[in-house]
């Protein structure tokens, strides 16, 4: 599901900005081959995909970020899948749809999964197409993609996807469509490194970007934000970008 956010306007020509808000999926799976297979497939289908390799890491991610669907393995090191699920529901009070994907195929295991708060259950081995179909069904049922907080925030910086505005400390910042899209990618993962390759794939999905295209968008975004006093975009050389709190923007 690719929900296109409405109405961000280009500062230059008034054309709508193509800022997409793909549904966010968290894969919780300790088998790297399975996790990367799911990751590659679902990314290709246009989802915004992340992975955690333990229940503890997944619980932490869910305590600081919001996902639209969680794909959950049960046999995990440390905090197992069922415990993660119970704590997700009881402690974090998160209603995020959870699709259990497990080799445990007994009826008792499936029932335990549902009893702990699963929304759906798929047994391994599975077909990727079926994972996609189940994910889409869960998204449709939960209304994710349409009911999302339209405002992404980091310190004094806000991107309001409903009003089509980027603001720093309440003053409106004019951005090009690509720069706004880049900013959204960073705002979705505050403090975390967002890789160049992922940014390029999101900004230029249909084409190999020209060598300096991303650099020029980064420059334009930084310049526009700096004019409003925000300088929290950090380059990790050769790897990517992240949003960081700096004293002057009070983030």
Q: How far apart are CA 135 and CA 129, in angstroms?
A: 10
Nearer to Ca ion, 96 or 102 (CB): 102
Give min distance, CB of 136 to Ca ion, in A. Answer: 24
Shortest gap between Cβ of 81 and Ca ion (angstroms)? Answer: 8
One of 73, 119, 158, 249 touching Ca ion (CB under 5 A): 73
Candidates 1, 18, 20, 30: give the one binding Ca ion (CB under 5 A). 30
Total binding residues toward Ca ion, as defined by CB under 5 A? 3
Q: Are 144 and 137 in contact (CB under 8 A)?
A: no
Q: Closer to Ca ion at the Cβ: 73 or 165?
A: 73
Task: Give the CA distances from residue 129 to residues 25, 41, 77, 126, 135, in Å, rounded to whole numbers and listed in that order.
Answer: 15, 9, 27, 9, 10
Distance CA 80, CA 99 (A): 15
Taking residues 74 to 113 in sequence order and writing x for each that binds Ca ion by CB under 5 A, - otherwise, the string is -x--------------------------------------
- For 111, phi then psi, to 5°, come to -65, -40
The 3-state DSSP class for residue 86 equals helix
Contact by Cβ (8 Å): 23, 68: yes
Shortest separation between residue 33's beta carbon and Ca ion, angstroms: 11
* Nearest distance from C-beta of residue 29 to Ca ion, angstroms: 6
Q: Which residue is nearest to Ca ion (CB)?
A: 75
- Rule CB under 5 A: which residues touch Ca ion? 30, 73, 75
């Amino acid at each position: 599901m690719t929900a296109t956010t409405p109405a961000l306007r280009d500062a230059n020509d008034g054309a709508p900005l193509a800022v997409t808000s793909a549904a966010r999926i968290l894969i919780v799976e300790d088998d790297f081959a399975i996790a990367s297979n799911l990751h590659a497939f679902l990314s290709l289908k246009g989802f915004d995909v992340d992975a955690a390799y333990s229940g503890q890491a997944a619980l932490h991610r869910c305590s600081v970020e919001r996902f639209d669907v969680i794909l959950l393995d049960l046999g995990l090191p440390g905090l197992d899948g069922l415990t993660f699920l119970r704590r997700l529901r009881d402690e974090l009070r998160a209603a995020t749809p959870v699709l259990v994907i497990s080799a445990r195929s007994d009826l008792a295991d499936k029932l335990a999964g549902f009893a702990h708060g699963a929304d759906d259950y798929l047994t391994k081995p599975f077909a990727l197409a079926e994972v996609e179909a189940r994910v889409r069904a869960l998204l449709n049922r939960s209304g994710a993609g349409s009911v999302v907080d339209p405002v992404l925030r980091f310190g004094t910086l806000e991107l309001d996807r409903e009003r089509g505005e980027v603001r720093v400390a309440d003053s409106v910042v004019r951005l090009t469509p690509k720069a706004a899209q880049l900013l959204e990618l960073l705002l979705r993962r505050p403090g975390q490194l967002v890789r160049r390759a992922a940014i390029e794939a999101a900004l230029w999905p249909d084409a190999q970007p020209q060598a300096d295209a991303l650099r020029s968008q980064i420059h334009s975004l930084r310049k526009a934000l700096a004019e409003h006093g925000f300088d929290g975009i950090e380059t990790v050389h050769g790897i990517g970008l992240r949003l960081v709190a700096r004293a002057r923007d009070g983030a």
